[in-house]
Structure 1
Amino acid sequence: MTRLEYRLHDSSRSFPLLFIYDDIDSEEISNRLVCDWFVKEDRVFEKVATAVSPTECILFVKEAEEEEVISRERLTRPVWEGLRLEVREYVEGAVYYRVVEILHFDCSADLRLYLQCDCFYLQEREWKKLSAEIDENRRVFVLYAQPTQ
């Protein structure tokens, strides 16, 4: 894989190109494919569909008008190495979701285990994953989850 595109899921406008990433590795593309949400600049997008060919991958998204970017923080050089995952507790109707734990990974495959799972264990509790997000502004992946008990 050498190219990733984010396109607006709007057939009446021929699926306009929003963002393009050249020379991106398949590990990063795979992580992004698993995410339900995509935060970039001042916008939040929801994944609608995906397509793949031998040379590119396309994520079709729609703007999530009911969602907003809460943190205006922009990181160009994070202080951590590897990949960062925030686990946040989802509470219906909340504007802010508290951070339960921050995990760091040296490889995409280990991160993807969390991104792909239905349930996981943290702090001696079982959590049910509700959705996954990539926040490009802050250079983190985010899991939204609820305790199962």
Structure 2
Amino acid sequence: MAQLEYRLLDEEKGFPALFAYESIPKEEVIARCLCDYFVKEGIVYERTSAANEEFLQVIYVKPIEDKPNRSTPGQTSGMGYILLELREYIDEAESYPVLKTLEFGNLQDLLLYAVSEYINFQDLEWEKTSFEIDEDRQVFSLYMKKTK
């Protein structure tokens, strides 16, 4: 188990802690560090960097005011499973359609998707555009677009 803290990227305010997790699986910390976006309490944050402070992993974020949470309502909470939504990224879209929701019994399977730049799905090659954790809905989302 590890400790994780999300901090606001604001030097003038001294990088205040926004959210803290005292006991979190190391694999989940890795998955969160790979996320480009973090959604909590209806606010979308963009990950700017991550740091290791001896016994604490820190993820620095900034709120994205011009990027409302445009996820279409999807499945929430997976009855003990880790959920990953595969979503189609469409430029200037109001929402991003869920292509499929995958359920994993462990974080390692999720990490294989998180570290991949390309995903073969529906007999097509897709390119990852971003990776996100939505704590409000308890799901990870992988945004992707078809390759040419």
Q: Which runs of 4+ in 1 moved over 3 A?
A: 70-73
Deviations 1:105-128 (A, max 9, x none): 111111011011100111111100
Matches within 5 A, 1:27-46: 27-46=27-46
Aligned amino acid, residue 35 of structure 1 = C
Check whether the contact 2:78–2:103 (CA below 8 A) recurs between aligned residues: no
Query: What percentage of residue pairs aligned between the two structures are identical?
Result: 39
Q: Which moved more, 1:64-73 or 1:106-115?
A: 64-73
CA separation in 2, counterparts of 1:147 and 1:79? 27
Which runs of 5 or more residues in structure 2 are unaligned? none
CA separation in 1, counterparts of 2:72 and 2:103? 22
Check whether the contact 2:85–2:140 (CA below 8 A) recurs between aligned residues: yes
Q: CA 1:79–1:140 in structure 2 vs 1: closer, same or farther (change >3 Å)?
A: closer
Check whether the contact 2:2–2:25 (CA below 8 A) recurs between aligned residues: yes
Query: What's the counterpart of residue 147 of structure 2?
Result: 148
Query: CA-atom RMSD, angstroms?
Result: 1.8
Which runs of 5 or more residues in structure 1 are unaligned? none
Query: What's the counterpart of residue 114 of structure 1?
Result: 113
Query: What's the counterpart of residue 94 of structure 1?
Result: 93
Check whether the contact 2:9–2:60 (CA below 8 A) recurs between aligned residues: yes
Matches within 5 A, 1:40-55: 40-55=40-55
Q: CA 1:24–1:69 in structure 2 vs 1: closer, same or farther (change >3 Å)?
A: same
Query: What's the counterpart of residue 131 of structure 1?
Result: 130
Residue correspondences, number: 147
Q: CA 1:33–1:79 in structure 2 vs 1: closer, same or farther (change >3 Å)?
A: closer
TM-score between the two structures when normalised by the length of structure 2? 0.92
Check whether the contact 2:7–2:16 (CA below 8 A) recurs between aligned residues: yes
CA separation in 1, counterparts of 2:42 and 2:104? 27
Aligned amino acid, residue 37 of structure 2 = W
